[in-house]
């Protein structure tokens, strides 16, 4: 869902853009080089840096992987790394906020670095697929739990899946997907995605299975 809107964004998007530029410049990377490392077009990266585009999660994930930074850094937090006993407390409405077409996101637990999963609380304001330019598609796996309202998850491989409050769905992020609210009000969901660098476990071969 790479939205390509060239219009001034809200202050949080402008701040995010400044941090993306600072991270790129700290590594002495040109816009062209950074775009190649991130797998994002030069024009898209430029719009993000200048606050002209609110990036989707797909684009955010590509940027943090390409620049080798933590997603929390883009929202002003300083993630901490700890060998054991890690925990992160996020009080109500105190997560890092980010919005793009169809989704009002609140990133949770942003003060921890190298997390195996990325948790979000999202208000889905999109009520039709017209809100999106393309499917969301990125590395990893996702878990969606409906807190309130009702949701329809559209997918490249499956028929539209309708979810009510209390329903949940786990799916492969690499499959194109988009979620819309089907209730009169905007739906509220808990959405978790694994980090892109979490390896997928390959199926055991016949010889491996016989050794067990």
pLDDT in tens, 89-117: 999 999 989 888 889 999 999 888 888 88
What's the pTM? 0.76
Q: Is the pLDDT of residue 178 over 50?
A: yes
**Under a CB-based contact definition with an 8 Å cutoff, are residues 37 and 95 in contact?**
no
Terminal C-alpha separation, the chain: 43
Is residue 132 in some structural domain? yes
Mean pLDDT score, 28-52: 94
Give the closest residue to 16 by CA, choosing from 60, 58, 61.
60
CATH number at residue 59: 1.10.260.40
Quote the percentage of the chain above a pLDDT of 70: 84
Provide the β-strand partners of residue 189: 122, 146
Say yes or no: 71 and 103 in one domain: no
Residue 42 sits at φ, ψ, to 5 deg, of -60, -40
Say yes or no: 131 and 58 in one domain: no
Is residue 137 in some structural domain? yes
| Residue 128 CB coordination number (10 Å) | 11
- Return the pLDDT at 15: 87
196 CB burial (10 A radius; 0-12, 13-18, 19+): middle
Quote the percentage of the chain above a pLDDT of 90: 55
CATH number at residue 149: 2.60.120.10
Tokens of 5: 């809107």
| Residue 25 CB coordination number (10 Å) | 13
- Return the pLDDT at 10: 56
Mean pLDDT score, 196-204: 46
Say yes or no: 66 and 101 in one domain: no
Tokens of 67: 């620049």
The b-or-e profile of 131-140 (16+ CB within 10 A means b, else e) is: bbeebbbbbb
Say yes or no: 125 and 55 in one domain: no
Say yes or no: 170 and 106 in one domain: yes
Say yes or no: 107 and 155 in one domain: yes
Is residue 212 in some structural domain? no
Say yes or no: 105 and 180 in one domain: yes
Q: Which domain covers residue 67, as residue numbers?
A: 11-75
- Return the pLDDT at 11: 58
Q: Is the pLDDT of residue 201 over 70?
A: no
What tens digit of pLDDT does each residue of 120-170 get? 999 999 999 998 888 888 888 999 999 999 999 999 999 999 999 999 999
What tens digit of pLDDT does each residue of 66-90 get? 999 888 888 877 777 766 788 889 9
Say yes or no: 118 and 189 in one domain: yes
The b-or-e profile of 66-87 (16+ CB within 10 A means b, else e) is: bbebbbbbbbebebeeeeeeee
Provide the β-strand partners of residue 188: 123, 148
158 in helix, strand or coil?
Answer: coil
Q: Is the pLDDT of residue 207 over 90?
A: no
DSSP 150: E
Number of structural domains (the chain) is: 2
DSSP 202: P
- Return the pLDDT at 139: 84
Q: How far apart are CA 44 and CA 46, in angstroms?
A: 5
């Amino acid at each position: 869902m790479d939205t390509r809107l060239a219009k001034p964004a809200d202050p949080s998007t402008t701040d995010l853009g400044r941090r993306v530029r600072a991270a790129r410049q700290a590594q002495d990377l040109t816009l062209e080089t950074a775009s190649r490392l991130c797998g994002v077009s030069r024009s898209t990266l430029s719009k993000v840096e200048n606050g002209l585009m609110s990036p989707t999660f797909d684009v955010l994930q590509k940027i943090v992987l390409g620049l080798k930074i933590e997603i929390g850094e883009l929202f002003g937090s300083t993630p901490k790394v700890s060998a054991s006993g890690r925990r992160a407390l996020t009080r109500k409405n105190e997560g890092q906020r980010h919005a793009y077409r169809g989704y009002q996101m609140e990133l949770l637990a942003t003060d921890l670095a190298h997390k195996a999963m990325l948790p979000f609380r999202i208000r889905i304001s999109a009520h039709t697929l017209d809100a999106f330019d393309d499917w969301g598609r990125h590395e990893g796996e996702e878990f969606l739990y409906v807190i309130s309202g009702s949701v329809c998850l559209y997918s490249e491989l499956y028929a539209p899946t309708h979810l009510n409050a209390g329903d949940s769905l786990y799916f492969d992020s690499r499959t194109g997907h988009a979620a819309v609210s089907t209730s009169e009000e905007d739906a509220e969901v808990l959405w978790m995605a694994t980090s892109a660098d979490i390896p997928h476990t390959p199926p055991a071969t016949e010889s491996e299975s016989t050794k067990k």
